Amino acid sequence: MFSLTRTFGAVLAALALATAGAETRAQSAGTAEAASAATAAQPSARPAHWAEPISLEGVPNLHRITPTLYRSEQPSALGMKNLEKLGIRSVINLRYFNNDKKEAKGTSLRTERVKILTWNVDDRHVIDVMRMIRDPANGPYLIHCQHGADRTGLMSAMYRMLEQGWTAEEAVAELKHGGYGYHSMWTNILKYVRTADVEKLRAAIAAP
């Protein structure tokens, strides 16, 4: 009887050790999986060739694309003054229903406008904007729309392709993942960038 009891106790002890070992392994696996997921969720370093974020009061979502071209949301009146101090000479507004006359009042900034509806972008809009920013006499330039994300993102992408030789997918990657706030509902913007006839646009921009 004593032997059976001892044997039974040994079996229970072995089962307890096995269960504890299984739980420990499961916890370790769960911890490793969580750590792996956390690592995967961390954003990779921002590519150095993407537009550089700049903090400037009154100019949300401001980024430097090149030393002569910047992008942002709608600047406020204070923002326009600060842009002037930054060295910007011309502001190109891509909004259809709003201009910058009130915000730019009291500055020496040149204000240009290319009226674009987010859902209806075509070649003539791109040609007009690219012709403007090709003129060094009036730069540096800022291009903006309401959010600095979609219409501005499209023009920035087309600049990358037309002036810097980027591929469509390289330009789309920056547009979508550059932290500018691209709204995924505007699939027409991605379609335009991916299907644009770059050589045709370059010829049109260069035409007198």
pLDDT at position 101 over 50 = yes
Query: Does residue 47 lie within any of the structural domains?
Result: no
Query: Does residue 35 lie within any of the structural domains?
Result: yes
Mean pLDDT value of segment 181-200: 98
> Could you give the number of structural domains in the chain?
2
Residue 29 has a pLDDT of 41
DSSP 105: T
Query: Does residue 154 lie within any of the structural domains?
Result: yes
Residues 113 and 135 in one domain: yes
Query: Does residue 46 lie within any of the structural domains?
Result: no
DSSP 3: H
Query: Does residue 21 lie within any of the structural domains?
Result: yes
Residues 29 and 125 in one domain: no
Residues 63 and 136 in one domain: yes
Residues 13 and 86 in one domain: no
Residues 143 and 167 in one domain: yes
Residues spanned by the domain of 138: 52-206
DSSP per residue, 74-97:
---HHHHHHHHHHT--EEEEEESS
Query: Does residue 141 lie within any of the structural domains?
Result: yes
Closest CA to 118 of 87, 152, 85: 152
Residues 120 and 35 in one domain: no
Minimum mean pLDDT range among 45-49, 98-102, 142-146: 45-49
Residues 35 and 116 in one domain: no
Residues 140 and 194 in one domain: yes
Residues 23 and 100 in one domain: no
Residue 41 has a pLDDT of 37
Query: Does residue 3 lie within any of the structural domains?
Result: yes
CATH classification at residue 168: 3.90.190.10
What are φ and ψ of residue 89, in 5° steps? -110, -30
Q: The pTM is what?
A: 0.79
**115 against 11, higher pLDDT:** 115
In angstroms, rounded to a whole number, what is the distance separating the alpha carbons of residues 69 and 64? 6
122 contacts: CB under 8 Å, gap ≥ 6: 192
Of the pLDDT bands very low, low, confident and very high (cuts 50, 70, 90), residue 45 is: confident
Residues 102 and 185 in one domain: yes
In angstroms, rounded to a whole number, what is the distance separating the alpha carbons of residues 118 and 115? 10
Residues 23 and 69 in one domain: no
Residues 30 and 124 in one domain: no
Query: Does residue 127 lie within any of the structural domains?
Result: yes
Structure token pair of residue 173: 């990657």
pLDDT at position 9 over 70 = no
What are φ and ψ of residue 139, in 5° steps? -90, 170
